[in-house]
Structure 1
Amino acid sequence: MLPVVVKLRERQRHPVTLVPVLAVVVVPAVFGALHWYLYRRLIRQNTSRGARARRAGAALFVVGPLLAGTAVVGGFSSMPMAVERVVAWPGYLWLAVFLYLLLGVLAGEVVRPLLNLWLTHRHRASAVVVDPATPAADLLSRRLFVSRAIAGVAATAAVGVVGHGTHGVLNGPSVKRSVVPLAKLSRAHHGFRIAVVSDIHLGPLLGRRFAQRVTDTINGTQPDLIVVVGDVVDGDVDELSDAVEPLARLRARHGTYFVTGNHEYISGADQWVEKVREMGWRPLENARAELPGFTLAGVNDFEGVATGRGPDFTKALGDRDPALATLLLAHQPTAVHEAVRHGVDLQLSGHTHGGQLWPFTYVAEAANPTVAGLERYGDTQLYVSRGAGAWGPPTRVGAPSDVTIVELASRQA
């Protein structure tokens, strides 16, 4: 997904015959055509036939998409985690590099005629023609120079952007802080601090070391409460039990609460709900808990609808004390429409990754009421975290990962 764009389905539950023709024919055809276009612009036009650079470039533009396709298919299949890890790193990184190579080359198509015109003008202003064949040779030389310059800039920018974005993810999430005033919160509970974390996505790319970074970041903030709003894992419990172990050491005065995300259902929600219980977290499966000064409710993710385990807002929010502020944990921001209907004061969500890779930010904005940060819908406020990890490419561009400390503020204080 990107998580905002692609809605995954459960592994091994849907036979290949149900996969849309678009996914098995049109998408690979377009993907291959775009690679051919990039190969021509970046390699073929800038190297001579038989040159080592051309052969290396051709190999790159064959192996890269094959690895990317294998990594994506592995995420939908029962491929062993050990095999997934081998293909996921080069495959998903190639997807990210491919995206920014494509954007760079397309931008180059805009400036190419302008550069050719400028160089031609300068040449005419300064050159003295002696040999009639010289102008044609000079023209070819200038065009090759422009083509190589655009290819070099595009490749350098793509690798640099992806490298920086990948380093940002692997370095762990930063801490954001947001003060949220609640009309029903008493003065005695003013300043209550909640650590909000979502979308850790432990799996073939992000493992135990990353989980430890997330744990250290959250514990370092010394929150009163920790809420995990879904998409902790991409894989089975037996494959990832060691990777999630550091998260069992999350510490807060009032404990850690959890709701499922769509990827928990892809990976097997029942096993993961039981696993987080063993880790000391409290799952809120369409349920609520009374905390000092407010009611904390949680609903299952919409992905659970297919298995009869979807969100039940009435069960989670009905018959609560209306005098207390109500906080709702829901993985997807679109739940805010039900939150408004049920009079929720604050909803905490994730799912969007903030778009993760620009320009998918704009797609995320079109698909979600809020992509990141705090917004108000009637009397309900919605806070959306960009998430701690990444899905697909372990890279973020224009949407840095975060853990957010939401500080509740009483209007009576």
Structure 2
Amino acid sequence: MSDLFAVAGLETTAPHPLADRLRPKTLAEVVGQDHLVGPEGALTRRIASGSLGSLIFWGPPGTGKTTVARLLAHETNFAFVQVSAIFSGVAELKKLFEEARGRRAIGQGTLLFVDEIHRFNRAQQDSFLPVMEDGAITLIGATTENPSFELNAALLSRASVLTFRALDEEAIEKVLSRAETHEARPLPLEPAARAAMIRMADGDGRAALTLAEEVWRAASPGEIFGAEQLAEIVQRRAPIYDKAQEGHYNLISALHKAVRGSDPDASLYYLARMFDAGEDPLFLARRVVRMATEDIGLADPQALVIANAAKDAYDFLGSPEGELAIAQAVIYLATAPKSNAAYVAYQRAMRLAKEHGSLMPPKIILNAPTKLMKSEGYGSGYAYDHDEPDAFSGQDYWPEALGRQKLYAPTARGFERDLRERLAYWAKLRKAREQEP
């Protein structure tokens, strides 16, 4: 039906989104991807060599993946076929593969562009392998997700991954300037509002053009919008962030490492990014508790107390007031002395427990509720520490087959400095008592 409309000339008069009307006609018009389509770009070199090869385009939305795939087909004289992994099944793929083999028989290659390729399951991804190997198709798959996690190793081994970058402010400005030229009118925005809209686009060229259309629709003749009016008009596009995907893990990793690195400002920034993107505050509160135990530990025992208190405060207050308690905890943790000594000691203890099995504790620290157990020496010779000088007996509590081990090594930072001195004092007492006749 769409072909009939095109023949009748109706398709050209139908309304098209600005992003579609401004789609680049040549690779040189693609902005923000010079590392791929510039004079020395990876794709430019492949085209010059005459060997394109199968490719995976990985990058955020609105960075030109689909456009570049279409232009590559033109540059190479391939037949361009586009499918979406959301709507296509194995039966449709098999039909496309047979058509591609028919083209190859008459000397024409097929460039098959698969949008959202990560949405295909393992069996569907495997179906591409034979036609990639025999040359019936040159595959270009586009994905916003990390190919290392979402695509089969067999498929990745037969394709090169090319990364599309989010458009920087300069590239977004070029996109908007091109739109103004095409529309023969400037955007009715004050400089601060224009800068705000560029930030709202969040590196997405298509989003920038959609925002521009909204602004033009909303403006009365002669009206110029400020930043606050712009926010009301476009209702601010949400940042690119999928709580189940890579953006989520990137930001929580950045937050954790900023806290560990004692940078409260960067920590607050990444916390705010996640709040702004709609992350569950309780998820963040749980991660803050983990940071308190993993990276601060006993260097500041209050860190865990404050982290738990922040979680309880959020439970009590809810949003948006409760987020401040989590932010306060993040600042406290970022500025606290750091130690992973407890974390390391726990890992050593777990490793020791797994390696040495069910070793019996020494009998002196075992209870003897029966006469038989007493006769076997259970509890014999146990020294009650509170009755000893300094409330310290210095007894050996380790299994005899294992001997005394050193697991916890406190740092010289924060409260652990006191623990270090205390343990050193006890070690001195223990050594002295072991030498007593």
Q: Which has the higher helix share?
A: 2
- Which of the five TM-score ranges fits, normalised by the shorter chain? under 0.3
Structure with the larger RCO, 1 or 2 (CA within 8 Å, 6+ apart): 1
Q: Which has the higher strand share?
A: 1
Q: Highest CA radius of gyration, 1 or 2?
A: 2
TM-score relative to the length of structure 2: 0.23
